């Protein structure tokens, strides 16, 4: 008995199983530096993304308003195509249509200008043809005719002259525009008419440059929008905070893009996170820290998770089975969707590389969720605002 005990104590201890590494869904492909300290980056579709500031071109630090620059990344090849749209040359050619026959002078940076021009958005890019689709606008602030016009311009970026254009919108200063998202090959825009308190959801097909009005309502009070990855549905939540609750209470609308039909349910406070999953919409509250599930068939709400105060947004992994919950706590919470189950979180600090800091709060995922653009700053310190000597974005592959 004693001998058996001594042999047991002297036996070598079994090695402990190695600790499982933290989950990682993000794998860097390539870094890209940008010319401006705070570049604009936006996915145009699942393949192409704009990674340079569109609004102004800079030459030796001096704003040059005669053109608007853009750099488009081909995520399949890693190549970047930089080009400039000759904004004022195009406007001069079409000045009668843009400003009216009374206008003979166009200069964005001259205080005496009677008409101004701007590139409002890069709507789409076709890598095969090299056609870039811009939304171009004017403002007749000093003219008696204060109507503003916006045109969709298909510009050949490979040196050819021309460019088809279509009238997208004609408004007064009563109407404001806000870009929402690209999804399923289309671009979505919110138009707000102040005098009538009307909000209209508009979509544009970059291939045909045609506009379609999807949905309109009166009295929508601030909104967080989310387009489903297949472009078939839209969720829009009225925005309210605990310190400023709306009366009547805030609503969340779910819209069928094809028919324009919609239904609404009560919206949570500070609805920052919205995601479409099979048969439902998930909504996260920044202040309450809850995640709610809206059943699309029953139009009923149930709470599925809590304890995540500081929710910034939701992202789905490419397979559509895992939800990422971005919060201010330094981690990315994860949930299996069907059946609903909490998974180990992802530590954001895992994705710091040497002295470079990657701001996942400001990351932008492609519509299909398979790629992400992450802004970075090579200086130590905060990543909430990019102000480094060599800022840029990094392309990541996103995997289940």
Residue ranges in the chain modelled with pLDDT below 50: 8, 37-38, 57-64, 102-114, 143-144, 349-357, 378-388
What is the C-alpha radius of gyration for the chain, rounded to an integer number of angstroms?
Answer: 25
CB 182 within 8 A of CB 189: no
pLDDT of residue 146: 52
pLDDT of residue 11: 55
Task: Output the CA angle 87-91-96, nearest 5 degrees.
Answer: 170
- Global pTM reads 0.81
Residue 33: in which H helix or E strand, if any? strand 26-33
DSSP 128-152: TTTEEEEEEEEE-TTSS---EEEEE
pLDDT of residue 363: 80
Q: Is the peptide bond before 339 cis (omega within 30 degrees of 0)?
A: yes
Backbone phi, then psi, for 28, in 5-degree steps?
Answer: -65, 135
Backbone phi, then psi, for 90, in 5-degree steps?
Answer: -65, -45
* Measured distance CA(396)–CA(376) in Å, rounded: 12
* Measured distance CA(95)–CA(236) in Å, rounded: 37
| Eight-class DSSP state of 98 | H
Beta-carbon contacts of 248 under 8 Å, excluding residues fewer than 6 positions away, are none
Joined together, the tokens standing for residue 333 give 């919470």
Backbone phi, then psi, for 214, in 5-degree steps?
Answer: -90, -45
**Strands (E) located in 223-337:** 223-227, 233-238, 251-256, 262-266, 271-277, 280-285, 291-295, 300-305, 313-316, 322-326, 331-336
Looking only at the bridges linking them, the beta strands covering 48-50 and 57-59 are unpaired
CB 138 within 8 A of CB 117: yes
pLDDT of residue 244: 81
Residue 162 burial (10 A CB sphere; 0-12, 13-18, 19+): exposed
| Exposure b/e, 19-35, CB count within 10 A at least 16 = b | eeeeeebbeeeeebebe
CA 164, chain centre distance (Å): 27
Residue whose C-alpha is closest to residue 124's, from 191, 209, 52, 65 = 209
**156-191, pLDDT tens digit by residue?**
888 766 677 877 777 666 777 787 888 888 889 898
Percentage of residues in the chain having pLDDT higher than 90: 29
CA 382, chain centre distance (Å): 22
Q: Is 203 helix (H, G, I), strand (E, B) or coil?
A: strand
CB 217 within 8 A of CB 223: no
Max intra-chain CA distance, the chain? 110
């Amino acid at each position: 008995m004693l001998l058996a005990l001594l042999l047991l104590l002297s036996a070598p201890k079994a090695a402990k199983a190695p600790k499982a590494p933290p989950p990682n869904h993000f794998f860097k492909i390539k870094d890209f530096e940008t010319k401006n300290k705070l570049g604009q980056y936006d996915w145009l579709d699942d393949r192409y993304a704009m990674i340079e500031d569109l609004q102004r071109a800079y030459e030796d630090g001096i704003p040059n308003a005669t053109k608007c620059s853009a750099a488009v990344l081909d995520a399949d090849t890693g190549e970047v195509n930089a080009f400039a749209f000759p904004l004022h040359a195009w406007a001069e050619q079409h000045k009668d249509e843009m400003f009216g026959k009374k206008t003979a002078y166009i200069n964005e940076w001259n205080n005496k200008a009677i008409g101004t021009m701007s590139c409002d958005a890069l709507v789409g890019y076709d890598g095969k043809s090299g056609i870039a689709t811009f939304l171009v606008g004017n403002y007749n602030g000093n003219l008696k005719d204060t109507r503003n016009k916006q045109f969709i311009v298909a510009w050949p970026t490979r040196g050819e002259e021309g460019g088809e254009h279509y009238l997208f919108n004609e408004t007064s200063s009563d109407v404001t525009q806000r870009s929402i998202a690209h999804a399923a090959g289309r671009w979505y825009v919110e138009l707000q008419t102040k005098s009538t308190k009307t909000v209209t959801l508009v979509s544009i097909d970059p291939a045909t440059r045609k506009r379609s009005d999807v949905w309109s309502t009166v009295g929508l009070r601030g909104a967080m929008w989310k387009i489903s990855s297949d472009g078939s549905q839209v969720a829009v939540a009225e925005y309210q905070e605990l310190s400023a609750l709306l009366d009547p209470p805030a609503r969340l609308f779910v819209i069928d893009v094809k028919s324009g039909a919609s239904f609404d349910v009560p919206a949570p406070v500070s609805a920052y996170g919205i995601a479409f999953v099979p048969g439902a919409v998930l909504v996260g509250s920044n202040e309450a820290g809850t995640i709610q599930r809206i059943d699309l068939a029953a139009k009923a709400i149930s709470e599925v998770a809590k304890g995540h105060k500081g929710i910034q947004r939701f992202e789905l992994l490419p397979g559509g089975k895992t939800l990422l919950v971005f919060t201010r706590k330094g981690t990315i919470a994860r949930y299996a969707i069907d059946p609903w189950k909490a998974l180990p979180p992802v530590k954001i600090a895992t994705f710091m590389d040497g002295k470079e800091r990657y701001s996942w709060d400001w990351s932008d995922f492609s519509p299909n969720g398979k790629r992400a653009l992450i802004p970075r700053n090579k200086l130590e310190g905060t990543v909430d605002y990019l102000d480094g000597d060599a800022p840029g974005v990094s392309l990541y592959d996103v995997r289940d």
